[in-house]
Amino acid sequence: MRYWLMKSEPSDVSIDDLAAMPNQTVDWYGVRNYQARNFMRDQMQVGDGVLFYHSNCEVPGIAGLAEVSALAYPDRLQFIEGHKYYDPKATTETPRWFNVDVRLVRKTRLLSLKEMREMPELQNLRILQRGNRLSITPVDPRDWALILEKLK
């Protein structure tokens, strides 16, 4: 089992939006970074743990826990001409972009980015590294355990 931090802008899909979705599940669409795509396509497995992170908002941070509920499959939005995630180089035979499904485990208190930065034991967490802008990053099992403890 692996662990991941996955960023979502609450104006697009928030933890509350996820809770209101059918089966409390969302396809993690719109990822257009090759490294993040490769994490989903090549490494994520059903049951992997997810820290659902609110980004690009007033108070960014971990807003809940989720799990990968479906293996990677082609992101449907890459094929819709005129859509902001359309990719003219993608075809159904050779898709370029993939997503996984993510299902809510539980909403948590917000563990803010500021609070995480104040925890020296999380110094290696990728979201805290200077220059990190990836929307999906792996989380070390020790960091996962520390974060779960803080979310109790």
The CATH code of the domain at 3-151 is: 3.10.590.10
Model confidence pLDDT, tens digit, residues 121-146 = 999 999 999 888 899 999 999 999 99
Pull the structure tokens for residue 10: 């609450």
Look at residue 152 in the predicted model and tell me its pLDDT.
Answer: 83
Per-domain boundaries in the chain: 3-151
pLDDT higher than threshold 90 for residue 46: yes
Look at residue 131 in the predicted model and tell me its pLDDT.
Answer: 86
Identify the three-state secondary structure at position 143: helix
The stretch 38-48 carries a mean pLDDT of 98
Count of CB atoms situated within 10 Å of the CB of 68: 24
pLDDT higher than threshold 90 for residue 1: yes
The stretch 18-36 carries a mean pLDDT of 97
Q: If you count them, how many residues does the chain have? A: 152
Assign 150 a pLDDT band (cuts: 50, 70, 90).
Answer: very high
The stretch 25-46 carries a mean pLDDT of 97
Look at residue 58 in the predicted model and tell me its pLDDT.
Answer: 96
Pull the structure tokens for residue 116: 């995480």
For the whole model, what pTM was predicted? Answer: 0.95
The stretch 23-33 carries a mean pLDDT of 97
Output the CA angle 75-78-82, nearest 5 degrees.
140
Q: If you average pLDDT over every residue of the chain, what do you get? A: 97
Rounded Cα gap, residues 91 and 76, in angstroms: 10
What is the 8-class DSSP label of residue 123? Answer: T
Rounded Cα gap, residues 25 and 49, in angstroms: 14
